[in-house]
Amino acid sequence: MVDGAGINGGLPDTLRVRTTGPVAVLTLARAAKRNALNDTTVLGIEQFFRTLDPAVRAVVIDADGDHFCAGLDLGEMTERDTLSGVAHSQMWHRVFDGIESGRVPVIAVLKGAVVGGGLELASAAHIRVAETSTFYALPEGQRGIFVGGGASVRVPRLIGVSRMTDMMLTGRRYGAEEGAAVGLSQYVVPEGAGLETALELAGKVAAVAPQTTFAVLQALPRIAEANPRDGFLMESLMAAIAQGTDDAKGRMRDFLDGRAPKVNR
């Protein structure tokens, strides 16, 4: 692995980067604060994705210590007027949209607290691997505030409005297994196995054809949100674009000639 300082210099000391082949690992490095997010860290995440090396084909978001992220660092909250509050929320939206709508798939390694802003960060990733210690919560409802980092858009896509309503109004928490059952993660693994699993998945993701990755990250979310008529048209266009590339033609020839593996149980 290579230290990311030479690739993405200038990141705050609350973040750490390393690369292994086409996979970059971005680590939240505030274990003493349960990796709570301050503005410096959030803007550092934005810088990392904005300056990502073109050779990187997948990103894993990991965290030091026992917790993925306990949310917004309330110790650094300042009183804001209404317009400043809107601007601050929109800054988080911009950063997390850069993850969700960026050019590379992102895999989050979850453990311990995935709370408030931590769940907002996790829900911006494309694949979530939860260790058995993981628990999810949105405590903003008990603190007299409302989510501001994109949870009201992304979390209902994963679990539905009614479940998020329950979390906000009653303080309900989900553990790793129950969270996976309702859609908060795609994988549950033993404690300590999250990073290894995520790196294995990232290796598979990095090998996917660029045109397919583009279609999955950029077209699929729009198709899923479109009315069926528009969705079917976008799907047809994207399918034609992808299969028309030289890469796709080469991969299909390899399959037809028996040089590519078939799908088995």
Given the structure tokens 């690992």, which residue do they identify? 25
Pairing of strands 106-110, 113-115: unpaired
* 89 CB-near residues (< 8 Å, 6+ apart): 148, 149
CA-wise closest residue to 96 among 126, 74, 141: 126
Neighbouring C-beta atoms of residue 68, cutoff 10 Å:
32
Eight-state DSSP code of residue 258: T
Judged on CB neighbours under 10 Å (0-12, 13-18, 19+), 166 is: middle
**Start-to-end CA span in the chain (Å):** 33
Strand partners, 114: 69, 136
* φ, ψ of residue 186 in degrees (nearest 5): -100, -20
The CA distances from residue 38 to 44, 69, 90, 193, 240, in Å, are 10, 11, 15, 27, 44
Catalytic residues: 120, 140
CA dist., res. 81 & res. 146, Å (int): 15
Instruction: Tell me the two tokens of residue 237.
Output: 């266009």
CA-wise closest residue to 158 among 107, 127, 130, 123: 123
Type of residue found at 227:
N
